[in-house]
Amino acid sequence: MSTGHSSPDTFLHRYPITVIVLAQLFGTSLWFSINGVALSLQRETGMSEADLGLLTVGVQAGFITGTVLLAATGLADRVRASRLFTLAAVTGALVNGAFIPAAHDLHAAWLLRFATGLCLAGIYPLGMKLVVSWTPKHAGLALGWLLGMLTLGIALPHLLRGATLELHWQWPLLIASLLALAAAVMVHRLGDGPHLPPTAGSGPPWAGLAAFARRPFRAAAFGYFGHCWELFAFWTLAPLLVLREITRLDWPVHWLPWLAFGVIAVGGAGCVLGGRISRSTGSLSVARWALGISGSLCLLYPWLGGLPPVLLLCLLLVWGFTVIADSPQFTALASLSAPRDRLGAALALMNAIGFGLTIPSIAVVTRLWPDNELAVLWLMLPGPVLGLWALSRVGAADYARAP
């Protein structure tokens, strides 16, 4: 006799996108887990802004290495995405927790953050593949939700720090690790979707390079590369930009994690809204508009630095809203134009190159910030310029014709 209740797995399979986006939120809380406790780390360990930037670069370097390995070995297409995601989330949770006793040793801390980035390579790109495997239609909308959760995951450490100010800095890191374990359980029970083959046949290394022979894919990829140059540099500087304004307002420092969370997390709403708009206007149009607005702020914000601090905080919210809103649309465009049997490798390779560009971007802006402050924002401008140029080379019809 039926009990009238669905089993947990039945519930998960009824709402697969909800499960994936929540798992993405929980898993990617590992990404900036150190940045959320930056002030406490600086006080306890004596780290400088450049040291914290180095730890962020370590995560990026690990992520790039991981995505390159996925693309070179074909694991992204040979192994079920849900299995790779689960393994990466569990390992990432353990490595993130191991940072706590190693925090006073910068070299050990950097290696652990590098290992965290390796694990994130099995969470973020594989999460995109899981979404496509469950809902091939309206990929821009679904990926908008996924990238929205990525954005909230990036911002989550700031929220965790704001909620645990009375506790030691280790607590937000431990909570992030517990969330990653929860993500592993969710995706493991969900499994892969039915709309892509779970594994691909053997093929040569770097199979994802085949996608670059297609002009629409190249345009989406180069747009994404320019977007990446700006995005993570902005996210890294967001707490410093907020701190500048609350200092001018003479507000207490406990406002910092809450406002930094808001500036980054509002991008989640940008991703979701952009995804909805893409259903009527197309992903290409949304990507162009979002990149154009964030690029304009790269150009104008340093000249506006004398405006009232509250107004500048509002501009930071606008920037945070638009700086990530184009990302799911680039992924949707790339997914439309990549070879279907090498989609995982193509997305992994695109991510590897894009995130490779974040390393010099983050390193330069964090090193130059103490002496130049707002002027360093101009160094982020080439990214949006490159992205807009790449998108000008194609039209919506190119993606409508893509296989």
* Mean of pLDDT over the chain: 82
Query: What confidence score (pLDDT) does residue 403 get?
Result: 46
Task: Determine the CATH number of domain 8-200+211-400.
Answer: 1.20.1250.20
Closest by CA position to 261, among listed 33, 26, 24, 36: 36
Please, which pLDDT band fits residue 312 given cuts at 50, 70 and 90? very high
Query: What confidence score (pLDDT) does residue 93 get?
Result: 93
Say how far apart CA 97 and CA 183 lie, in whole Å: 16
| pLDDT tens digits along 86-115 | 999 999 999 999 998 888 888 898 999 999
Asked if pLDDT for residue 131 goes beyond 60, the answer is: yes
H or E element in which residue 124 lies = helix 124-134
Q: What angle do CA 356, 358, 361 make, to 5 degrees?
A: 130
Top-confidence residue, 22 or 32: 22
How confident is the model over 33-42, as a mean pLDDT? Answer: 73
**Which DSSP string do the residues of 370-383 spell out, in sequence order?**
HHHGGGGGGGGTHH
How confident is the model over 128-155, as a mean pLDDT? Answer: 69
| pLDDT tens digits along 365-378 | 988 988 888 999 99
Asked if pLDDT for residue 281 goes beyond 80, the answer is: yes
**Which DSSP string do the residues of 183-236 spell out, in sequence order?**
HHHHHHHH---SSS-SS-----TTGGGGGGGSHHHHHHHHHHHHHHHHHHHHHH
| pLDDT tens digits along 167-210 | 677 788 888 899 999 999 999 888 776 665 545 544 444 566 77
Closest by CA position to 76, among listed 114, 26, 115, 128: 128
Nearby residues of 265 by Cβ (< 8 Å), 6 or more positions away: 151, 152, 155, 156, 159, 320
Sequence spans of domains, the chain = 8-200+211-400
| pLDDT tens digits along 229-279 | 999 899 989 989 999 999 999 998 888 888 988 998 898 888 888 888 887
How confident is the model over 314-339, as a mean pLDDT? Answer: 89
Query: What confidence score (pLDDT) does residue 133 get?
Result: 72
Q: Supply the pTM of this predicted model.
A: 0.76
How confident is the model over 386-403, as a mean pLDDT? Answer: 78
The least confident of 196-200, 214-218, 294-298 is: 196-200
Top-confidence residue, 293 or 165: 293
What is the chain's length? 403
How confident is the model over 303-328, as a mean pLDDT? Answer: 94
Buried-exposed string 363-385: b where 16+ CB fall within 10 A, e elsewhere: bebbbebeeeebebbebbbbbbb
CB 282 within 8 A of CB 220: no
User: Letter for the amino acid at 154?
Assistant: I
| pLDDT tens digits along 144-165 | 677 777 777 777 766 666 665 6
299: left (phi over 0), alpha (psi -120 to 50) or beta: alpha
